[in-house]
Amino acid sequence: MEISSLDLTLRRIQQIEQTFGDIGVSSVEEQKNFNGVLQNVMNTQNTPAVSEEERTSFVEDIDYIIKEKADKYNLDESLIKAVIKAESGFNPNAVSKAGASGLMQLMPGTARGLGVEDIFDVEQNIEGGAKYLRGMLDRFDGDKSLALAAYNAGPNAVKRYGGIPPYQETQNYVKRVLSYERNYL
């Protein structure tokens, strides 16, 4: 089945709307971010409104992808959702200053190494992120805090410091993801 440019844009808008709705846009800043992302997509694509049926279908697809990758890599769905929230705020078009991209903020080289051909493809991005997260959990003997620190700062930093690196960003990241995970349970 061939997917048109309009179909892809509609799916992207649906994903943005639903994921922000799922996490509960709770602050003025999150609402501005959501509105800005949605408006940018609509302006650049001249996209018509999305029906509730299309939105529901797309949300079910995203939930299915997360469940499928969680099952495949023996991860909790809540952990994948927590990483996505912390990494991209559920913005599938997010790009960091360092160049990490997509929902799970994969670096281009890491993404290629994980078999991700299109870093902005939701399924490929979640596949790559889940695979990488599973690898970090295995590398650090199932220690979730160390695996998350490695996801954020890199496994070499975790090894070098013998634990969570003394980087404020990484320490806050681990706490934030674990808190989000508890909320998704």
Q: Rounded to two decimals, what is the model's pTM?
A: 0.72
* 129 close to 113: Cβ distance less than 8 angstroms: no
Q: Which residues are catalytic?
A: 87
pLDDT value for 89: 87
Mean pLDDT to the nearest integer, 143-170: 98
* 73 close to 90: Cβ distance less than 8 angstroms: no
Mean pLDDT to the nearest integer, 138-151: 98
pLDDT value for 43: 46
Report in angstroms the alpha-carbon separations of 181 from 107, 109, 148: 23, 27, 12
Q: Could you give the domains of the chain?
A: 5-184 (1.10.530.10)
Chain centroid offset of residue 135 CA: 17
Structure-token match 């809540």, residue found: 78
Task: Report whether pLDDT(26) > 80.
Answer: no
